[in-house]
Structure 1
Amino acid sequence: MFFEGYGYHGTSFEQTYRCYPASFIDKPQLESGDKIIMPPSALDRLASLHIDYPMLFELRNAAAERVSHCGVLEFIAEEGMIYMPYWMMENMLLQEGDTVRVKNVTLPKGTYVKLQPHTKDFLDISNPKAILETTLRNFSCLTTGDSIMVAYNNKKYYIDIIESKPSNAISIIETDCEVDFAPPLDYKEPERLAPSVPTSKAPAPVEEEAVPEPKFNPFTGVGRRLDGKSLKHQSPPVSSPTSKDKQPEAANGRPSAASTSQTTRQPQGKLVFGSTTSHGQKEPQKEPLKDAKQEQAPKKEEPKFQAFTGKKYSLKG
């Protein structure tokens, strides 16, 4: 039988073995934990050293400078060989037949561990905490920097150990350990929606036609004599200088709709003084706006209130 690096150092056990996956000896249960299978000679030496149970070991891959920790399940391997979970070999960058250094260690009981799943679908399991607790019962210890494997429902989930207390390697056998989760490696923060609608989806602004607002025009309308006589000459309505630009008239001479709506809201009138022979002035009377053509034509319309109707009086007395 070939032994490589076999030796004992003082009161500790330290041995170099060639490692192989658990599938070589038909031990599939090894894949669900962190325990290895060692040769019977290792058990004899450990017993003579009075190593306390549970037995914990440090695994070191000197070529890749990777260190992990594990427990032991059985001592039935061939001399010079050990069998270990395949996920552990991947974690330590070991190939079949590579050498690994095994040393017995004593680890403190863990009080805190922080885990980070590789994929967020692990959190989609109905009860990931219960699955994790069940899986960790097959583990003896945890090491910061390792990636453990959790098998559930014919699927494998890998979880990184990113922090552990009180040391980088802890024992989790018969201990109450607080477990915390970091966001999965493939987790992405949801994008925050902008308060405004994106430009690409925003409706194009509708350009409203500028409608000129009607302006107040003083002294508009028709004139009426205070003595009741009809005017011989109809003077054109006085309008503000800006009325031509702001209130266009229709072709038939009637005021536009904007002007009509304005007069409907606020009746406008024209101040008319007495006859040229009068010396006094009367209070101006406002009359509704009338059409110039209707003023000249014979009027057959409903009577409206008119000031100073009836008998005519001379303002001279």
Structure 2
Amino acid sequence: MFFEGYGYHGTSFEQTYRCYPASFIEKPQIESGDKIIMPPSALDRLASLHIDYPMLFELRNAATERVSHCGVLEFIAEEGMIYMPYWMMENLLLQEGGTVRVKNVTLPKGTYVKLQPHTKDFLDISNPKAILETTLRNFSCLTTGDSIMVAYNNKKYYIDIIETRPSNGISIIETDCEVDFAPPLDYKEPERPAPTIPSSKASAQVPESPTEVEPKFSPFLGVGRRLDGKPLKQEPTSTSTSSAKDKQPITTTGGGRDSSGPSSQSIASRQHQGKLVFGSSVKNTQKETQKETQNATAKETKKEEPEKKEVPKFQAFTGRKYSLKG
């Protein structure tokens, strides 16, 4: 089987291989790390180039231009073939027997990495950081955009590499690296309760009640009654007409009387009604009204008092005298 020739560019190594998952050989341990298995010929050429250790490689899918980084575990694969973890083939969008370009690289030591679990179940583990540290011991490097797999308690947890510093690919061998976690992909923020409005603001938002309109003064509009209890023969005129008459201008004539003033007939009618009387006969009318009221009250008291029965007066004995002697 013939493959593309090996590249020699100074101290670099670059070769194209066909890749297969680790399930094709009896090496299941490589699924829990980022190391691949290469053929023995690759080791000979790497040794002749005086490659620095640990050996790190860049993996590139020529069809999709997806890039990742890895280390090497052994050189026991068949010529022209490499074996890699299945999760790494998923990151590179590679199928079984797909071609991948392998190139040796030197990566800086990482100082910071930010991780994001796919599910919040990973955070429910008693000590997720300890499990992560144990898993990362099998890793040589991390690449921004990859999704690594953490196996624990017969369950697989996938974690995204969101950010790496100081570059997109870092080495985590013998280095102190700060690890930060982002909220899981399936995490949902709890619903916040509706904010309560303080009493001061609530009172300010309540619309003010309309101010009550004070009632205006209105004059007495009832019906007049006589002091002697007799009914009125004529309804009294309204206050509006009287006020209108009061407001009319007064013109005087040569006799000293008002031409617009009340006539003698109206004066007489008002006298008969028991109201105030204008003119020279005021005193006479007052006396007459007093006499009429006195007579009326006297008649009413007589009617109200029940008739008294005449009691016979005492009379002396007027009969005949009789003696006992006969």
Q: TM-score, normalised by structure 2?
A: 0.59
1:31 is paired with a residue whose SS is helix
Amino acid at match of 1:109: K
Structure-2 residue corresponding to 1:35: 35
Residues 212-223 of structure 1: pairs in structure 2 closer than 5 A: none
Structure-2 residue corresponding to 1:105: 105
1:180 is paired with a residue whose SS is strand
Structure-2 residue corresponding to 1:248: none
What CA distance in whole angstroms lies between the structure 2 residues aligned with 1:87 and 1:81?
18
How far did residue 195 of structure 1 move? 4.2
Q: Deviations over 1:123-166 (max 9, x none)?
A: 00000000000000000000000000000000000000010000
How far did residue 9 of structure 1 move? 2.6
1:116 is paired with a residue whose SS is strand
Structure-2 residue corresponding to 1:15: 15
Spell out structure 1 runs of 4+ moving beyond 6 A.
none
1:66 aligns with 2:33: no
Structure-1 residue corresponding to 2:91: 91
Amino acid at match of 2:63: A
What CA distance in whole angstroms lies between the structure 1 residues aligned with 2:114 and 2:77?
34
Q: Deviations over 1:49-69 (max 9, x none)?
A: 000110000000011110000
Structure-1 residue corresponding to 2:165: 165
How far did residue 6 of structure 1 move? 2.5
8 Å Cα contact 1:69/1:141 also seen in 2? yes
1:78 is paired with a residue whose SS is coil
Residues 1-317 of structure 1: pairs in structure 2 closer than 5 A: 2-10=1-9, 11-195=11-195
How far did residue 31 of structure 1 move? 0.3
What CA distance in whole angstroms lies between the structure 2 residues aligned with 1:133 and 1:18?
32
Q: TM-score, normalised by structure 1?
A: 0.61
1:185 is paired with a residue whose SS is coil
Structure-2 residue corresponding to 1:231: none
8 Å Cα contact 1:148/1:158 also seen in 2? yes
Q: Deviations over 1:55-92 (max 9, x none)?
A: 00000001111000000000000000000001110111
What CA distance in whole angstroms lies between the structure 2 residues aligned with 1:3 and 1:139?
31
How far did residue 46 of structure 1 move? 0.2
What CA distance in whole angstroms lies between the structure 2 residues aligned with 1:49 and 1:3?
23
Structure-2 residue corresponding to 1:233: none
Q: Deviations over 1:260-288 (max 9, x none)?
A: xxxxxxxxxxxxxxxxxxxxxxxxxxxxx
The percent identity for this pair of structures is 91
How far did residue 193 of structure 1 move? 1.3
What CA distance in whole angstroms lies between the structure 1 residues aligned with 2:103 and 2:87?
20
Structure-2 residue corresponding to 1:206: none
* Unpaired segments ≥5 residues, structure 1: 197-317
What CA distance in whole angstroms lies between the structure 1 residues aligned with 2:180 and 2:89?
26
8 Å Cα contact 1:19/1:96 also seen in 2? yes
1:13 is paired with a residue whose SS is strand
8 Å Cα contact 1:3/1:79 also seen in 2? no
8 Å Cα contact 1:60/1:68 also seen in 2? yes
Structure-1 residue corresponding to 2:298: none
8 Å Cα contact 1:114/1:164 also seen in 2? yes
- The Cα RMSD (Å) is 1.2
The structure having more radius of gyration, on CA atoms, is: 2
8 Å Cα contact 1:35/1:70 also seen in 2? yes
What CA distance in whole angstroms lies between the structure 2 residues aligned with 1:65 and 1:103?
14
